[in-house]
Amino acid sequence: MERCEVVVVGGRLAGACAAAHLAKAGRRVLVLDKMTFPSDQLSTHLLFPAGVEELRRMGALEGILANDPTKSPWVELGMPDGVHVRERWRKSGEIDYCMCVPRTMQDVELVRAARAAGAEVREKCSVLSVRWRAGRACGVSYRDPDGDVRDVQADLVIGADGRRSTTASEVGAFEPYRASRNGRGLVFRYLDDPLFETVAGQTIYQWRDGDSFAMAFPSAPRGRILALFMGAAEEASEARGDAEGYWERKLAQHPRMAERLAGAGNPSKLRSTGDTTAFFRASSGPGWALLGDAGHFKDPVIGQGQRDALWTGRELAEAVSDRLQDHPETDAALRRWEAERDRECLSAYHFGNIDTEVEKVPPVLVEVLRRTSRDQLPDVSDLFGRARSLPQVVTLPRMQRGLLAAIGRGSHGPPTRLVADALPQLRTHIGIRTEALAGRFRSTRLVPGSDHPHPHPPKAPRNAGPEPARPEAEAVAA
């Protein structure tokens, strides 16, 4: 039977990154992916500076830059009441720009980087099951491109096969222990950008009008732009039923987006989804781990998924690369890695849950941003760039000052209503901070105002595995 040290199921962001770092450390790595590359993936594929820095660290950045993507060092947020914030991104390493590269261009470069690092990547190979020995994962069975079923042994099985992860199902972790229903869906397309040689053509835009978001991301190759609307999740069905009618309606709802896209031509077909429930799965166990969207998914409204997929892949590789032959040590390291992933991602999970609510921008937030729009230094953009967390950027004193400013301005409504609306928001932010301080591992305690009820987790793959694990909350030392 074939043997390697690590078998990775899925060769996109998380899987390719983990494979590259493990192979660089001298480990024998086999990556199995059911697709061929290049191939597409439904994604808004925005990478903030920290994500671009991860590409550099894994060795994929040079290949991706060869596709001539636009580098976007600016971000601009447009709010109601004439408030807008324009900032530069804070550097991550030496990277001070965003990129938005279509997955058909990006993912093939990730695979090339993994291969260049020494990993073997096999395409058109579908994993069927996880193999076990004495209660520990010890490899997988897969179907090769010729239709033959083959087995491979490994010290570690890494599932990086997305939200509908076969690996998660096989190890009994498919059912999330925590999930939150999304309010927003997403609808996007590419167009030729008539402003690509201007400063506007190097700026990431987000406009919030009414209860809807509109975004424009300079893309690749240079001269293309991704235009995205995030209204209620039900709008995805509307867009599929009447694509151009929907598009014109949203441009009318977002006049600043319409102005930005004036003259843009050569539009692609619309792509859409309303299925973006956020979740956490148990992501480590004896001989196995779940990376990227297979283990944790946050609402795409904040564009954090790609960076976190790369980050979790590198962090896992660094945690286990020097101890794979010591199985108890490996399993303990996997558990510590999962706890660290949760500490890193929990604040962004809440950020996405708050922004996915389909409601008008709260007056407190409008006034907080009005007070930060006086210079172009990194501040609010740190939330998206992950230079600082939600509690570090939207501080409680800042919220208090925003409320007082909203009351003083007099245009947001009666003070009693403003206070009544702000109190639940304040409780939510306090709950987020309390949860972070508690540090419970795999906590199922929900934060009111962030965790939304009645989630719809991803559908299980056809070859569903054993009953899902139901982990109990427990403390983990930092």
Identical fold between 2-45+102-181+276-354+453-470 and 69-101+186-231+234-273: no
Angle of the 13-24 helix axis to the 305-320 helix axis, nearest 10:
30
Evaluate whether 163 touches 154 at the Cβ level (below 8 Å).
Answer: no
pLDDT of residue 19: 99
CA dist 45 → 1, 13, 26, 246 (Å): 38, 11, 30, 22
Given the candidates 3.50.50.60, 3.40.1360.10, 1.10.287.70, 3.30.420.40, the CATH classification of the domain at 2-45+102-181+276-354+453-470 is 3.50.50.60
Residue ranges per structural domain of the chain: 2-45+102-181+276-354+453-470, 69-101+186-231+234-273, 358-441
Q: Is the pTM here over 0.85, yes or no?
A: yes
Helix, strand or coil, per DSSP, at residue 355:
helix
The CA distance from 53 to 94, in Å, is 8
The token pair at 285 is 């166990």
Give 157's strand partners. Answer: 7, 288
pLDDT of residue 41: 87
pLDDT of residue 1: 86
Does domain 69-101+186-231+234-273 fall under CATH 3.30.9.100? My reply is yes
Question: CB-based contacts of 466: which residues, under 8 Å, 6+ apart?
Answer: 170, 172
Evaluate whether 471 touches 442 at the Cβ level (below 8 Å).
Answer: yes
Evaluate whether 288 touches 158 at the Cβ level (below 8 Å).
Answer: yes
Give 189's strand partners. Answer: 227
| Residues of the chain where predicted confidence (pLDDT) is lower than 50 | 464-478
The CA distance from 283 to 292, in Å, is 10
**DSSP letter at 184?**
B
pLDDT of residue 456: 86
| Residue owning tokens 């070859």 | 463
pLDDT of residue 162: 96
Four-point Cα dihedral 364, 352, 260, 380, nearest 10: 50
The CA distance from 38 to 337, in Å, is 30
The CA distance from 449 to 312, in Å, is 27
Q: How far is Cα of residue 157 from the mean position of the Cα atoms in its chain?
A: 22
The CA distance from 252 to 265, in Å, is 18
The CA distance from 397 to 177, in Å, is 33
Strands 29-32 and 178-180: unpaired
Neighbours of 249 (CB within 10 A): 16
Q: Which of 116, 98, 91, 152 is nearest to 21 (CA)?
A: 116
Evaluate whether 15 touches 309 at the Cβ level (below 8 Å).
Answer: no
The CA distance from 295 to 317, in Å, is 16
CA dist 112 → 6, 30, 59, 106, 122 (Å): 18, 14, 9, 10, 12
Strands annotated E in 95-167: 99-100, 120-122, 126-133, 136-143, 149-153, 156-159
User: DSSP string of 275-307?
Assistant: ---EEE---EETTEEE-GGGTEE--GGG--HHH
The token pair at 452 is 């939304």
Give the pLDDT confidence of 336-356 residue by residue, as tens digits: 999 999 999 999 999 999 999
